[in-house]
Amino acid sequence: MKTRLLLPIAAVMAAAIVPALAAQSAAAKKPAASPRPLTPVQAMPLTCAEAWIASEQDYNQMRAVVITLAKVSLVNRDLTIPDSREAGLEAGKGIAADCKADPNALLFAVVDKQVRRIGVPAKR
């Protein structure tokens, strides 16, 4: 008789506790403030793997780091990227492939390589 009574009580308690724990877990995962993007000086010495970790393994943060480094490369080489989705995708795929092939490569070197490949002389 006691066993029959304990099972429903345990089920009710679990139903009450699990959502509360899930809510606490979700709240703990949310950052208190959005992280600041890395500056060019902070991003320059990072390898692909280090930049991924510094970006908290978040695609959007990593993309921001790559864009920051691409801007430095474009200015230094007096180039521009064609204003097309295809050019951006091609550069992004090249950067991803190069970083996957060598995670210890300097991210700036990888980005610079793709900027030189995709970039065209800046118009004056």
pLDDT, residue 37, reads: 80
Q: Please indicate, yes or no, whether residues 48 and 9 belong to a single structural domain of this protein.
A: no
pLDDT, residue 31, reads: 55
The residue segments making up the domain with residue 61 are 40-121
Buried b (16+ CB within 10 A) or exposed e, 26-45: eeeeeeeeeeeebeeeebee
Q: How far is residue 123 from each of residues 79, 91, 119, measured CA to CA in Å? A: 8, 20, 12
Q: Kindly report, residue by residue over 1-13, the tens digit of the pLDDT.
A: 444 544 445 444 4
pLDDT, residue 99, reads: 97
Q: Kindly report, residue by residue over 81-107, the tens digit of the pLDDT.
A: 998 999 999 999 999 999 999 999 999
pLDDT, residue 11, reads: 44
Q: Kindly report, residue by residue over 33-59, the tens digit of the pLDDT.
A: 566 789 999 999 999 999 999 999 999
Report yes or no: 121 and 81 within 8 Å, Cβ to Cβ.
Answer: no
Q: Is residue 15 part of a domain?
A: yes
Q: Please indicate, yes or no, whether residues 12 and 70 belong to a single structural domain of this protein.
A: no
Q: What is the pTM of this model?
A: 0.71
Farthest-apart Cα atoms in the chain, separation: 89
Mean per-residue pLDDT over the chain, rounded: 82
Q: Please indicate, yes or no, whether residues 59 and 14 belong to a single structural domain of this protein.
A: no
Both tokens assigned to 88: 């951006």
Q: Please indicate, yes or no, whether residues 64 and 115 belong to a single structural domain of this protein.
A: yes
